[in-house]
Structure 1
Amino acid sequence: MTPLQTRQHPLPLSSRQDWCWQWMRSYPVDSTPVEATETLSLRGPLDIGALRDTLAEIETRHEALRLRLAAPPGPDPSAAWPGQTLRPDPGALTVLPVPPQEATAEATRILARPLDLTDRMTRATLLRADPHEHLLVMQFHHLVVDGACHPLFRDLLAEGYARRVRRAPDTGQGRRRSEPESYTALIAREGTPAARSAVRERAAALARDLRAYGSGDPLPGDAGAVDRDTRFGSVPLGVPADRTRRLLRGSRTERVTLHTVLLAALARAVATEYDRDRLVCSVYTHGRTTPAAHETLGLFSNVVSARLDTAPAPLPDFLRSVHDRVRDAAHDVDLPFTEVASRVLPRPSDGGAYCRSALAHVELRLTGVTGWLPVDQHRPPAFPVPELAATALDIQAPFTPPSFNSREQALACAGTLFATLDLADGALVGALWYEHRYHDGERLARIAERYGDFLTELAPSP
């Protein structure tokens, strides 16, 4: 039993949860839920008891899935962290019969209902269309789960279910998983006086560096046009499969990652357009710093800030510089976002939260390859049960554009450019998103063109 499991008083945030708390407190309490969802289509005879027991085992072994808030967040954006407690018991699996033609619509309705975070931050619902057709709808709040958890959750579900129905032969050669890392033990380690003192010193040093690189000095735009309701436009950044293959070869030649190449291209394009020789870029790191953490469901990822020098330089030197700066930024995964932001930015006038992108000029999310999540999030689980086939479905709650608690938070978000890229079927698919009232669309189109020119420089057409 870990030290914090025996305590009755609420637990503090982990260093990884801090940025997510700031994120969710930037919006009104009734805005779009900050959740990660997982919907699996299960075709074939299903042993619901075995599925229920498997889900209970997963929650029991992975502490983050049993965390809950000690009090409601409340409508006040300046509300302090209410603390969290660890439920002693796993959650129930709700089984609902549904007509086959209504299954997808019912899954959407379930995902649209926010979680009661004071009860639990996960919810499992099984929609039974007929004895051989089910939808498993999982809801995870981002305070306890990140994107890297999804493939692991599917594997644990498949392995545990197969073990219970005794369809997977035990050859002794299967993968032996290590004991998950205790999330409450992570919080306990971070809460020692020595650890807190070290964090304060490192956060102060990082804040000085970020200010020197222009953090707090956003990209210029029409600030007067922005209100609390953000309105985003986008320009495509996708790369066809044949060119993506050349980029992968080019990155290997330069001994950097594809993530480095794409971030370097974007940073140089933005810096050229805005005539800046320094930028701060937000990137995500998976944050799993121990072998056990790789086998653990929980929020370990963090938003870290890479300080980039973007003055003209030979291509190999520039790529190596970006690569090294991203690697250095990853060392800050255990720094709470608030500890840094509060030293760089003025406190919002309403006393509320910091927008999670407020420190950066550019943010990059790359999935499916060498980004923060180097796996296919949509990979279906391989149930070692011949009669049962599983498919991961992309069913989401209805999306509404974010509305912030204050105009200051909306402006902090508007000043950042957001690039999202996913490797799908060998091609890079994605876009550069921008608040279209703050930023000039023609300017963003020029950035996208320069981004393409940089990639061509690295990997020219044959």
Structure 2
Amino acid sequence: MPERSKKAAPRFSAAARKKLAETLAQTGLGAGRDAPITRRTESGGPCQLSTSQERLWLAEQVLAPSPLYHVPLAAHLVGPLDIVALRRALDDLLQRHDILRARFVQVDERVEQHTLATLELPLVPVDLGALPSSQRYARALALARAEFRRPFDLAQGPPLRAALWRLSAEEHVFLLAFHHIVCDGATMRILCDELAEHYAAERSGRPLSLVEPELQHGDYAVWQRARAESAEARSALDYFAERLRGPLAPLELPSDRPRPAQWSVHGDWRTRRMEPSLGASLSELARAHQATPFQLFLAAFHALLARLTGQHDLVVGIPLGLRERSELERLPGFLVNTLALRTRCEGSLSFVELLARVKDTALEAQAHGAAPFERVLERVQPARDPSRAPLFDVMFDHRAGLAEELHLAGLSSGRLIPEDQLHSGTSKVDLAVYTALDASGFSLSAEFRTDLFDPSTIDLLLERFEVLLRALAANPHARVDELELVGAGELELLRRWAQGPNVPGCESTLHAAVAEQAARAPESCSMKRRRSAG
């Protein structure tokens, strides 16, 4: 069996997790999560959706067809690909997990997951060999984007598609496009591992080494919905209702255009890559303050928002993975909740003080993660603005341990294609910022609404975030309102603005031209004043 992708780095340090466990024990929170998850007797029959799945399904009904909730798993495959083995491996993977064969059917006033008995995805390679070799990969990416963005019919199913483009005998682009209602980031790791194992078994003719899944997603959905009605969840709702009580001022990020009256899905993605040493030094800084990289980067994002907007009462959305139980670690599906973190971020705080505040807020929110986001919205009932997402305008996540490669036996490379090359062209909020730190490097990425921001503006925002991170790495005790924001790129932009436009015959300023004329002919008049008539 291929080596498993590494698990995501913990969002909370060992000391923080101990504190969280003590909090759960003292308050009685967490009791619901200890309830056993049992396998349904009628596996494959109609079943409930989790509350998170139900929210995505409702959003899909309200919005016009779009790729807003599409998730790609795409790889650039180099080496002798056995297409027959890949097709069989994919079929075996679909039979292994009911959620991959799901369709979502409205029955009266509820929606159910129905499972297709069998499913075979067509995987016929599209040959791009007639194109010049220098154009094939770009063409494959363009075709993959078009295929990835094609809407799904959730009622008919399936909630995924496969496609393959042949660039040469030993070079292909492979795409699996999913609807988010059946997957999340951890699912990509799981499916990469299992598809590779199925492929190796098909290619060699050896028995499959994977054990049968302990649970199916429907089993989890039944357990999760019961947990959402528990005393633990009611207490968690009370917590968020209190934290989010009072006026929540919308975040006013500097934008390129006025906010449209109606929210739209149109978006884009930008990435800024930096040397791994910066990420390593920031991770070490986090450890020195008993924090995790996630908490440090989240605190830095708060500092950036406060500096850009001048606002200090900030609400930021974060995703929370719900695989804390061992039997859920290898279960594909949408096992994610969304938490709304409200934090005061005064400029007079040192960054170290802000880090401690953000860490405590995140720990408390995670301790109350049994409250489904959709129930929080119902309870808080924030003022609705059709031009904005509810509760918060920005989101943040630190990505660690994500799948980076599809390890297919016999291939020299199966590098996954990053989101700046294969993106949905949508954005769920005004701005979502992601940090990523792994062996290959350190990066900042942003998904943003294109009806508000130009790509160049987001590039500048990411540059400012990098400058701020370097500043706090050098002096974490600096006040938030004194952290440096202006980098070399922005300084060059300011220099060009100060110089003004290039006008033929006017390469200098007026006072410099007078001085030059005086130096050339000191005995002559360098400038005459013409008196106006009258």
Judge same fold: TM > 0.5, yes or no: yes
1:69 paired residue number = 104
1:208 and 2:244 matched: no
Asked if structure 2 preserves the Cα contact closer than 8 Å seen for 1:273 and 1:447, the reply is no
Distance (whole Å) between structure 2 residues aligned to residue 165 and residue 52 of structure 1: 11
Does the Cα contact within 8 Å between 1:236 and 1:432 map onto a contact in 2?
A: no
Unaligned runs of 5+ in 1: 73-78, 368-373, 403-409
Measure the CA separation in 1 of the matches of 2:460 and 2:146: 37
Q: TM-score, normalised by structure 1?
A: 0.75
Q: 1:398 to 1:265 in 2, by over 3 A?
A: closer
- 1:98 and 2:133 equivalent? no
| Cα distance change of structure 1 residues 272 and 25 upon mapping to structure 2, 3 Å threshold | farther
Whether 1:190 and 2:218 are equivalent positions in the alignment is no
In structure 2, which of residues 77, 86, 89 is the aligned counterpart of residue 54 of structure 1?
A: 89
What is the aligned partner in structure 2 of residue 75 from structure 1?
none
1:261–1:117 Cα change, 3 Å: same
The residue aligned with 2:410 is 386
Task: Give the C-alpha shift of residue 225 in structure 1.
Answer: 4.0
After superposition, give the CA deviation of every residue in 1:135-156 in whole Å (9 maximum; x if it has no partner). 4321111111112222321221
3-state DSSP of counterpart to 1:382: coil
| Conserved 8 A contact 2:342-2:361 | yes
8 Å CA contact 1:18–1:337 kept in 2: the answer is no
Deviation of 1:293 (Å): 1.9
Q: Which moved more, 1:156-165 or 1:121-130?
A: 121-130
Q: CA deviation at 1:232?
A: 6.9
Q: Out of 312, 324, 345, which is 2:360 matched to?
A: 324
Could you tell me which of 182, 185, 201 is aligned with 1:163? 201
Q: Distance in 2 between matches of 1:90 and 1:292?
A: 26
Work out the CA distance in 2 between the residues paired with 1:301 and 1:349. 25
Alignment deviations for residues 225-270 of structure 1 (CA, whole Å, 9 cap, x no partner): 4233657799998765443332122111112112211211221343
Percent sequence identity over matched residues? 20
Q: Is the contact between residue 16 and residue 334 of structure 1 (CA under 8 Å) also seen in structure 2? A: no
Structure 2 match to 1:406: none
Matched, 1:89 2:150: no
**One-letter amino acid matched to 1:344:** V
- Indicate how the Cα distance of structure 1 residues 178 and 418 shifts in structure 2: closer, same or farther if over 3 A, else same: same
Does structure 1 retain, via aligned residues, the 8 Å contact 2:341–2:365?
yes
Distance 1:65 1:37 in 2: 14
2:445: which partner in 1?
430
Task: Answer yes or no: is the 8 Å Cα contact 2:78–2:170 preserved in 1.
Answer: yes
Asked whether 1:308 is paired with 2:337, we answer no
Whichever residue aligns with residue 149 of structure 2, its letter is: A
Give the SS at the match of 2:314.
strand
Secondary structure in 2 matching 1:95:
coil
Q: Aligned AA for 1:158?
A: A
> Kindly tell me: are residues 286 and 178 of structure 1, through their superposed partners in 2, closer, same or farther at Cα, counting changes over 3 Å?
farther
Structure 2 unaligned regions, length at least 5: 1-37, 477-534
Indicate yes or no: 2:433 matched with 1:419.
yes
| Distance verdict in 2 for CA 1:178–1:251, change over 3 Å | farther
Confirm or deny: 8 A CA contact 1:259 1:366 kept in the other structure: yes
Q: 2:396 aligns with which of 360, 364, 371?
A: 364
Alignment of structure 1 residues 239-258 onto 2, 5 Å: 240-258=275-293
Equivalent AA in structure 2 for residue 115 of structure 1: F
CA RMSD of aligned residues (A): 4.3
Q: CA deviation at 1:55?
A: 1.5
Contact (CA 8 Å) 1:178, 1:295: kept in 2 or not? no
Question: 2-side partners of 1:233 and 1:53: how far apart?
Answer: 35
Shift of 1:294: 1.8
**2: CA distance between counterparts of 1:64 and 1:348?**
33
Deviation, structure 1 residue 389 = 4.6
In 2, Cα distance between equivalents of 1:46 and 1:428: 31
Separation in 2, partners of 1:448, 1:80 = 48
Which residue of structure 1 aligns with residue 260 of structure 2?
226
CA contact (8 A) 1:14 1:187 kept: yes
- Farther-moved stretch of structure 1 (331-340 vs 244-253): 331-340
- AA aligned to 1:99 is L
Partner of 2:220, secondary structure, is helix
Distance change in 2, residues 1:457/1:46 (3 Å): closer
1:385-421 deviation line (CA, Å, top 9, x unaligned) = 336653433486675456xxxxxxx9xx45xx43233
In structure 2, C-alpha distance between the alignment counterparts of 1:14 and 1:53, rounded to whole Å: 30
Partners in 2 of 1:180 and 1:296 — Cα distance? Answer: 8
> Contact between 2:236 and 2:370, CA under 8 Å: does it hold in 1?
no
Alpha-carbon contact 2:267-2:425 (below 8 Å) kept = no
Q: Deviations over 1:357-400 (max 9, x none)?
A: 52225421222xxxxxx1244x22223x3366534334866754
Conservation of the 8 A alpha-carbon contact between 2:244 and 2:380 = yes
Q: Which has the larger radius of gyration?
A: 2
Given the alignment of the two structures, is residue 122 of structure 1 paired with residue 122 of structure 2, yes or no? no
User: Could you tell me whether the CA contact under 8 Å between 1:267 and 1:362 is conserved in 2?
Assistant: no
Native 8 Å contact 2:87 2:123 kept in 1:
no
8 A Cα contact 2:78 2:172, kept in partner: yes
Q: Secondary structure at the match of 2:358?
A: helix
Residues 112 and 397 of structure 1 are in contact (CA less than 8 Å); yes or no, is this contact kept in structure 2? no
Letter in 1 for 2:86: L
SS at match of 1:186: helix
Distance 1:151 1:127 in 2: 23
Structure with bigger RCO (C-alpha 8 Å, 6+ apart): 1
2:471 aligned residue:
456
- TM-score w.r.t. length of structure 2: 0.66
In the superposition, relative to structure 1, how do residues 71 and 310 fare at CA in structure 2: closer, same or farther (>3 Å)? same
Work out the CA distance in 1 between the residues paired with 2:146 and 2:447: 30
Aligned to 1:179: 213
Range moving further from structure 2, 284-293 or 104-113? 104-113
CA distance in 1, matches of 2:462, 2:150: 39
Letter in 2 for 1:365: D
Choose 389-398 or 54-63, whichever is displaced more: 389-398
Change (3 A) 1:145 1:315: same
Q: Secondary structure at the match of 2:329?
A: helix
Q: Which has the higher mean CA deviation after the structures are superposed, 281-290 or 393-402?
A: 393-402
Are the equivalent residues in 2 in contact too, given 1:282–1:364 (CA < 8 A)?
yes
1:293 aligns with 2:328: yes
